[in-house]
Structure formats: structure tokens, C-alpha cells
Amino acid sequence: MVRDLSTTLCGITLKNPVIPASGTFGFGLELSGSFDLNVLGGISLKGTTLEPRFGNPTPRIAECEAGMLNSVGLQNPGAEALVRDKVPALRRIYGGCIIANISGFAVDEYAACSKVADGSPDIDIIELNISCPNVHGGGMAFGTDPAAAAEVTAAVRKATSKPLFVKLSPNVSDIVAIARACEDAGADGLTLVNTFLGMRIDIGTRKPVLANRTGGLSGPAIFPIALRMVHQVSKACRIPVMGCGGVARARDVIEMMMAGASAVQVGAENIRNPYACKEIVEALPDVMEELGIECLSDIIGCV
């Protein structure tokens, strides 16, 4: 029996739900010589700001037993280069869903960057990263306050006609309140979760391992928490969810979809194994057969 791996996001059909998460797959081009990118349901591109950014000082990466910490600092060539160079080059070799991940440090910056991305016919979805610190709001991330999350979502909603997904920070006490605020402000979908704030110390030098002291924790360690948040938000909101956080194998994809995710992003596992997404896609039909699943979309939110 042929297994149906397809899913939809805001009317966009994906051949399967597997999407490399932003920041773990570059702009797609970096791995184009390793395997055919067209096996992927979608690609979330490296986080992009309005102006080019060099990023944080090194070291930026710290290993953990069940994941990794990163503090890259949004190193990217800027929105104009994204639209002019990166996306057209990717579209020439990739026919799936292209997701532009947009970041910023002020509401008008988010809106301006999204407007640039909106001008690209090859970008299918805008993914708004609201984990950035609000420079006009005391440095607290947009995604930790419902009012701030709603404000930036509403501003970007006016700047683009493309489907808008908001990527939520898990570093909050009530993620449902943030999710509902984004939905009410015009978000078409939600991506969750981003990384958890963490730290490692080199006990030999008695200094933080990361130059920035703290960074975002990702990898298998966070999967159960991310799964819980996906389940909570998918039950509380009417818009589709892309699940993300600690996904490393086909069974994790199935679990995320049962929790309510319409598509699933793979993050840190791409750093450990650049072929992770390809291998997950290839393994899905066998897992579906084992579990008696004919169509993946049938299990979305079944728990």
C-alpha cells in the first residue's frame, strides 16, 4: 500500500511534513550537493534581519549530553541579499515550500524586513521569529509578552500578504496566552518552539563556554517539553502549527503530528547529521505501516 505523507499549511500542499528548521540548514544551497533537496516538504531558511549581521563573537556553540547550545546571533547577509540572491538560487533547484524566517529588534524593523521578503515570488511563507530582544521595550523578547507579540504580529500582517507563521519562544510561563495573542493579531499559523535559554561553564577555566555566556538549548533534551507546548497550543488555537524542538527521527514526527502539528521542523539533528531530514522522510512510510497509518494528515491532533 502506498502511504500518503502529504500535508497542507494554509492551502499550500507539502509532499511530506519534514522541514529543516531555521538556522540549521543555511539557505538550503549549502547541502544541495549532498542530496536532492526535493525530498523535503519545505525548507525554513536561515534567520534574516533587515540589515546584514556578523553575529555574536565566538565560541558560539556548546555541546550538551542530549543537545547543544547556540548563540550565533543571527549572522546573515540581510533581507535584500535574501530576496536578490539566496531565494532565487534555491528556487532554481527546489520546488517545495520555501519559508523565510524573519527577525528584528524593533517593530518597524520586522515590518520592513517582511515587506522586502513579501516582494519575492519564490517565498511561500513568512516565519516571524519573535524571540529577539525588543530594543524599545527594555530588552525583553517580543515573544515573552502577549501585547508585544500581538503588536509585532499585527505590524508584519500589514506588511505582507503571504501566509504568516509566528515562531514562539518557550521561555514563558503561559505559551497559550502568547499563541492566542498572535492568532488574534492576524497570524495564519504558529511554529513552536524555539530554543530554551541555557548555559554551560568550563570548570577548568571557570568561564562560560559561550562567549555570549548564555545560548539557546536545542536537541532531544527538549522534545517532551516542546511536544507538550504543541499539544496545548494546537488545542487552544484554530490556526495550524508547525512543531519543532528535539525532533530526531521519524517516530518523533509522528508524535508531533499526533500532538497537533500539521508539519514538523527538524533542528539540532541537522547539525549532528546533515542527512537527518532525508533519512526521516525515507523512514516515515515504514513507521506508518507499522502503526497502521495510511495518511499522515489523519493523525494530526488525534491525541
Residue 64 known to be catalytic: no
- The closest of 48, 82, 18, 23 to 215, measured between CA atoms, is 23
pLDDT score, position 136: 75
Task: Please tell me the number of Cα atoms within 13 Å of 174 on its side-chain side.
Answer: 8
Q: What is the pTM of this model?
A: 0.97
Q: Which residue in 132, 182, 237, 277 is the catalytic one?
A: 132
Q: How confident is the model at residue 133 (pLDDT cuts 50, 70, 90)?
A: confident
Give 211-261 pLDDT, tens digit per residue: 999 999 999 999 999 999 999 999 999 999 999 999 999 999 999 999 999
So what's the pLDDT on residue 41?
A: 98
Average pLDDT, stretch 271-283?
A: 97
Q: What percent of the chain has pLDDT over 70?
A: 99
Residue 139 above 70 pLDDT?
no
Residue 94 cell numbers, joined: 527546489
* pLDDT at residue 177 in the model: 98
Q: What are phi and psi of 20, to 5 degrees?
A: -60, 135
> What domains appear along the chain, each with residue ranges and CATH number?
7-299 (3.20.20.70)
**pLDDT, tens only, 73-125:** 999 999 999 999 999 999 999 999 999 999 999 999 999 999 999 999 999 99
The pLDDT of residue 137 is: 72
Across the chain, mean pLDDT equals: 96
What is the share, in percent, of the chain residues with pLDDT greater than 90?
95
Over residues 38-74, the pLDDT tens digits come to: 999 999 999 999 999 999 999 999 999 899 999 999 9
**Per-residue pLDDT for 135 more than 70?**
no
